[in-house]
Amino acid sequence: MGNLGGKTLLMSGGSRGIGLAIAVRAARDGANVVLIAKTDTPDPRLEGTIHTSAAAIEAAGGKVLAVVGDVRDDETIASAVVQAVATFGGIDIVVNNASVISLDGTLKVSPKRYDLMQDVNVRGTFMLSKAALPFLLEAENPHILSLCPPLNLSQKWLGMNPAYTLAKYGMTLTALGFAAEFAAQGVASNALWPRTTIATAAVANILGGDEMIRRSRTAAIMADAAHAILTTNSRELTGQAIIDEELLRARGMEDFSGYAVDPSVELMIDLYVDQ
């Protein structure tokens, strides 16, 4: 695989979990990372802030610009793009990591939660990418990577939690739409999703606590898969909804035991992924 040294990543979220893992993996190559995240002060329910993430990125060998703000806010997005270009000279990669989850059924989901998922997951992905695209079009190997699932239209997934599914599938359609629209210009746009649950705060707090964490993989597998995508020629890999394990297997990896939180238990397959 190639190297992200000197590349500039613009990422939504990234205070913790998968986003932070992707940022730290890029930083190990010497990448520049621009984070847009809301968590400015510690939250007892969630580990990490934008400042602890910035410290971790710098410790890994990268340069970082922390922008405290909300990806729903157009002024925050515009400011982050301006600061990224002024500080690092351009933007090579956008990682749409910020996401909101609610697994409530249709009769239980609140209008506020529904709107929040649409605003962060779909609108945030679209508007952050849109703002960065003029600079991606000038980059040597431009990529947009959105953390969203394959468009699995089975009745099982369509009926499980439609409000969340609409928001995540909206992200995926946005990613695939960018790929089609900018194919001729060489801007890659892909979706990335884990085959198994990942040991994050969302999994612990929403999907099943410590037992679910035991049956998950660490965020390192998503970071390695993201790195593999982002170091690939943008004209050779675009318009795909990629599963982390499938990509890494295709690149020659055979042993995935090192990613397991607890190798002694059966892994939990993630939402929207069939057995």
Question: Based on C-alpha coordinates, what's the Rg of the chain?
Answer: 17
Tokens linked to 269: 């397959």
Confirm if 84 and 10 have CB atoms less than 8 A apart: yes
- The span from the CA of 133 to the CA of 128, in Å, is 9
Which three-class secondary structure state does DSSP give residue 145? strand
Angle at 140 between CA 137 and CA 145, to 5 degrees: 70
Q: Supply 28's token pair.
A: 């190990």
CA 67 to chain centroid: 17
Distance (Å, whole) CA 32 – CA 84? 9
Q: For residues 123 and 137, give the distance between their C-alpha atoms in angstroms, rounded to a whole number.
A: 21
Q: Is 164 a catalytic residue?
A: yes
The alpha carbon of 75 is separated from its chain's Cα centroid by a whole number of angstroms, namely 21
> Which residue among the candidates 164, 169, 259, 272 is catalytic per the annotation?
164
* Burial (0-12, 13-18, 19+ Cβ within 10 Å), 219: buried
Q: Using an 8 Å Cβ cutoff, are 176 and 191 in contact?
A: yes
Smallest CA-to-CA distance from 9 within 96, 71, 74, 69 is with: 96
Catalytic residues: 164
